[in-house]
Amino acid sequence: MANQSEKLKRVDKILAAGAKCAKSHPGMSQIDQVTIHTDGYAEPGYPEPDSGIVALGNWNTVHAYRGGEELMEIDDAPKRVAKLLEKVGVELRWSDEWTTCYSCNRLLRTTADGYDWQRAYIELQGDNFCADCVARERDLAEDYLKDLEGDHRRCVTMADLDLGRYGYRRLEGDFEHGYHPGQDASPRVIGAALKNMGVSRYLFRLDSCGQFDTAFSVWVHEEDIVNVDPKKWADANKNGPSVSEALDRALRDASEKMSKLSGPGIKVAQCNPDGTADVRMATPEEFIKGEALNFPKEEEECEN
């Protein structure tokens, strides 16, 4: 603890000096907004740093822009502060990718770091709670699960949350939704089938996710499980429109439309869920800036 205490004093000096030496108000603001954390990670798969100190911040160098184009570097103070913090053993993370658990104050990732990432926290009334705190505080889990009931647009993402402990029974699993043939299971259709049988206390669980597909299961509360007619459930439609067939149609549509494009630039296409595609010619500048797929939005098209 004494060693960490000394390091925290050095961290404070680095931040103070960095803010003082910043060449711009944005640079100083970025340094002022750095937060220091010593309670560790609640995010699965992240070992504690040797120093026990993590800093969240925006470590980007400040640049001047005009008309969306980068003109020049005006303040590298955030980058220099980041290097100094790393020298004293501080682990750096980006503040727009992490948050803290409201209960235990440990760190949680809010954006994916891989195709198989699943959110390891819940959000209730604007506050975030990690999986460990949810498991310890029964009321949190019950409120969270009750809030998910009957909603096909949301699901349980925490792999270790024991749904059986809260009265839910796994009705069926191994559902797949994705771009491969046969991966057409639809939570919306499944939810409608359950509601037709008088089941309202159901929820979905995300069992795995990948680059092109997800696997999920449906759970029903024990109070409602008696309403599930086994024969009706077995015969119920659980699939929506074929995603793979829509993708195939969209790719064919894109190919046909792109063959008719001419002129300077780069041909780009965007496949739509309805099996159609939008195509356009993008300039090299748009391609470099990542703006090649900036197709007009539907509402903009209607207005024009």
- Token pair for 274: 């309805």
Cα 122 to chain centroid, rounded: 13
The confidence band for 300, taking pLDDT boundaries of 50, 70 and 90, is very low
Whether 26 and 64 share a structural domain: yes
Calculate what percentage of the chain has a pLDDT beyond 90: 77
Note the pLDDT of residue 109.
Answer: 96
pLDDT in tens, 192-201: 999 999 999 9
The confidence band for 204, taking pLDDT boundaries of 50, 70 and 90, is very high
Angle at 254 between CA 252 and CA 259, to 5 degrees: 100
pLDDT in tens, 207-234: 999 999 999 999 999 999 999 999 999 9
pLDDT at 64 over 90: no
Note the pLDDT of residue 207.
Answer: 95
pLDDT at 303 over 60: no
Helices 25-32 + 2-21 axis angle, to 10: 160
Whether 13 and 52 share a structural domain: yes
pLDDT at 95 over 50: yes
pLDDT at 302 over 50: no
Whether 154 and 169 share a structural domain: yes
pLDDT at 1 over 80: no
By residue range, what is the domain housing residue 133?
121-240
Is residue 109 within 8 Å of 98, Cβ to Cβ?
Answer: yes
Residue 110 in any domain: the answer is no
Report the distance separating Cα 74 and Cα 166, nearest Å.
55
Provide the residue count of the chain: 304
Whether 129 and 218 share a structural domain: yes
Residue 153 in any domain: the answer is yes
Residue 105 in any domain: the answer is no
Domain count, the chain: 3
Closest Cα partner for 195 from 167, 227, 148? 227
Whether 226 and 248 share a structural domain: no
Note the pLDDT of residue 286.
Answer: 84
Report the distance separating Cα 11 and Cα 185, nearest Å.
51
Whether 236 and 248 share a structural domain: no
Report the distance separating Cα 246 and Cα 224, nearest Å.
35
pLDDT in tens, 115-136: 999 999 998 888 999 999 998 8
In Å, what is the CA distance from 105 to each residue of 47, 156, 181? Answer: 16, 22, 44
Whether 250 and 236 share a structural domain: no
Note the pLDDT of residue 293.
Answer: 81
pLDDT in tens, 242-275: 988 998 999 999 999 999 998 888 999 999 988 9
Whether 174 and 211 share a structural domain: yes
Whether 129 and 234 share a structural domain: yes
Whether 232 and 265 share a structural domain: no
Report the distance separating Cα 275 and Cα 253, nearest Å.
8
Whether 125 and 222 share a structural domain: yes
In sequence order, what are the beta bridge partners of 220? 169, 202
pLDDT at 304 over 50: no
Note the pLDDT of residue 66.
Answer: 63
Closest Cα partner for 53 from 113, 9, 118? 9
Whether 163 and 252 share a structural domain: no
Which segment of 130-144, 226-240, 282-296 scores lowest on mean pLDDT? 282-296
pLDDT at 174 over 90: yes
The pTM score is 0.78
Report the distance separating Cα 149 and Cα 29, nearest Å.
42
Average pLDDT, the chain: 90
Residue 48 in any domain: the answer is yes
Residue 115 in any domain: the answer is no
Is residue 55 within 8 Å of 91, Cβ to Cβ?
Answer: yes
Note the pLDDT of residue 42.
Answer: 96
Is residue 201 within 8 Å of 256, Cβ to Cβ?
Answer: no
In sequence order, what are the beta bridge partners of 217? 205
* Residue entry with tokens 């889990």: 141
